[in-house]
C-alpha cells in the first residue's frame, strides 16, 4: 500500500481515494481497500492451489478414459503447475525490511527443512500405523484411481511435484508474501499457514493424526518463505519432502510384495 499525491495505491494497482498532498485518507476507505486486497488474495490462492489440482485430477481421469497404457497427463500437469508457480512471482513485492540469505544458504535451508518435514511425517506414521507403514500398506496418491498400475505409479510420482508447486504459489505467493505489507508479516504468515492446513482438511478428515505434521510443514515452509522472501525455496522444500515420502512408500511397497 503506497501513497502518491494523497492517493492511496493498493497492491492491485487501483487508486482508492484522492486528495491533496496534506490530506489524510478516510479510515473507512483504507479499511475497505485492505479487506478487498485480503479477499482478492484468498480467492487467488484458492483458484491457484485448488483449481490447479482439480485440473490435474481431470487430466488423470481423461487419460484413463482415453486409454491408460501411456500416462500422457504428466506433461500438461507439470506444465500447468510450473506456469502458475512462475506466475506467482508477479503477485508480491519482497519486503525491504528483510535481508534474505544467500542463494546457497537458502537452498541448504530448504533441503534441511524438507528432510525434517519428511522425517517427522515418517516418524508419526510409523508410530501410529505400526505394521502397515513397515509393510508398504500406506496409501499412495495413485491408489484412489482404480486403473492400471502405470497410471497409479505416474500419479504417485507426479502429484508430489504438481501439488507442491501450485500450493506454494497459492499459499505463499498469493497470500503470505502478497499480504505481508498489508496485514503485517506475522499475520500474513499465520493466515497462510492456516489456509495451508485447511486445504488439506480432506486428508485430515481421513486421518486426523496427520494434522501435527501438516501444521509443522505449514510453519516450517512459512518461515522459509518469510526469511528468503521468495516462493521458490519453500516450493523446493515442499517438493523434496513430498518426494521423499512418496519414494519411501514406493520402496517399502516394493520390498514387501
Asked whether 165 and 82 are in contact (CB, 8 A), the reply is yes
Whether 204 is covered by a domain: the verdict is yes
Q: What are phi and psi of 85, to 5 degrees?
A: -65, -45
d(CA 227, CA 237): 14
pTM for the structure as a whole: 0.85
- Predicted pLDDT of residue 86: 95
Asked whether 182 and 191 are in contact (CB, 8 A), the reply is no
User: 168-187: per-residue pLDDT in tens?
Assistant: 999 999 999 999 999 999 99
Whether 5 is covered by a domain: the verdict is no
User: 128-173: per-residue pLDDT in tens?
Assistant: 777 787 777 888 888 888 889 899 989 999 999 999 999 999 999 9
CB atoms within 10 A of CB 150: 13
Whether 174 is covered by a domain: the verdict is yes
- Predicted pLDDT of residue 203: 76
Cell numbers 482415453 correspond to what residue?
66
Contacts of 245 (CB under 8 A, 6+ apart): 118, 121, 122, 160
Asked whether 118 and 246 are in contact (CB, 8 A), the reply is no
- Predicted pLDDT of residue 14: 44
Angle at 185 between CA 182 and CA 191, to 5 degrees: 85
Q: Is the pLDDT of residue 191 over 80?
A: yes
Number of structural domains, the chain? 1
Cα–Cα distances in angstroms (integers) from residue 205 to residues 9, 88, 200, in the given order: 42, 29, 9
User: 197-251: per-residue pLDDT in tens?
Assistant: 999 887 776 777 778 889 999 999 999 999 999 999 999 999 999 999 988 888 8
- Cell numbers for 254, please give them: 516394493
Domain around 208: 35-255
d(CA 76, CA 84): 12
User: 42-66: per-residue pLDDT in tens?
Assistant: 999 999 999 999 999 999 999 999 9
Whether 93 is covered by a domain: the verdict is yes
Whether 67 is covered by a domain: the verdict is yes
Whether 9 is covered by a domain: the verdict is no
Whether 6 is covered by a domain: the verdict is no
Whether 181 is covered by a domain: the verdict is yes
Q: How far is CA 150 from the centre of its chain?
A: 26
Amino acid at each position: 500500500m503506497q501513497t502518491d499525491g494523497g492517493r492511496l495505491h493498493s497492491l492491485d494497482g487501483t487508486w482508492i481515494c484522492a486528495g491533496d498532498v496534506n490530506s489524510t485518507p478516510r479510515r473507512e476507505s483504507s479499511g475497505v481497500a485492505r479487506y478487498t486486497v485480503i479477499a482478492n488474495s484468498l480467492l487467488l490462492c484458492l483458484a491457484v492451489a485448488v483449481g490447479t489440482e482439480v485440473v490435474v485430477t481431470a487430466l488423470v481421469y481423461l487419460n484413463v478414459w482415453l486409454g491408460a497404457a501411456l500416462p500422457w497427463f504428466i506433461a500438461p500437469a507439470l506444465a500447468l503447475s510450473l506456469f502458475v508457480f512462475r506466475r506467482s512471482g508477479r503477485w508480491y513485492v519482497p519486503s525491504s525490511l528483510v535481508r534474505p540469505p544467500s542463494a546457497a544458504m537458502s537452498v541448504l535451508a530448504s533441503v534441511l527443512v524438507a528432510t525434517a518435514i519428511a522425517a517427522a511425517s515418517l516418524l508419526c506414521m510409523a508410530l501410529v500405523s505400526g505394521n502397515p507403514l513397515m509393510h508398504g500398506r500406506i496409501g499412495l496418491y495413485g491408489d484412489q484411481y482404480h486403473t492400471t498400475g502405470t497410471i497409479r505409479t505416474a500419479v504417485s510420482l507426479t502429484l508430489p511435484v504438481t501439488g507442491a508447486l501450485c500450493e506454494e504459489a497459492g499459499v505463499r505467493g498469493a497470500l503470505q508474501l502478497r499480504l505481508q505489507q498489508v496485514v503485517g508479516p506475522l499475520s500474513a504468515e499465520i493466515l497462510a499457514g492456516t489456509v495451508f492446513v485447511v486445504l488439506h482438511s480432506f486428508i485430515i478428515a481421513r486421518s486426523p493424526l496427520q494434522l501435527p505434521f501438516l501444521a509443522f510443514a505449514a510453519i516450517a515452509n512459512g518461515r522459509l518463505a518469510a526469511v528468503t522472501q521468495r516462493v521458490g525455496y519453500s516450493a523446493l522444500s515442499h517438493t523434496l519432502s513430498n518426494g521423499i515420502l512418496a519414494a519411501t512408500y514406493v520402496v517399502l511397497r516394493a520390498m514387501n510384495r
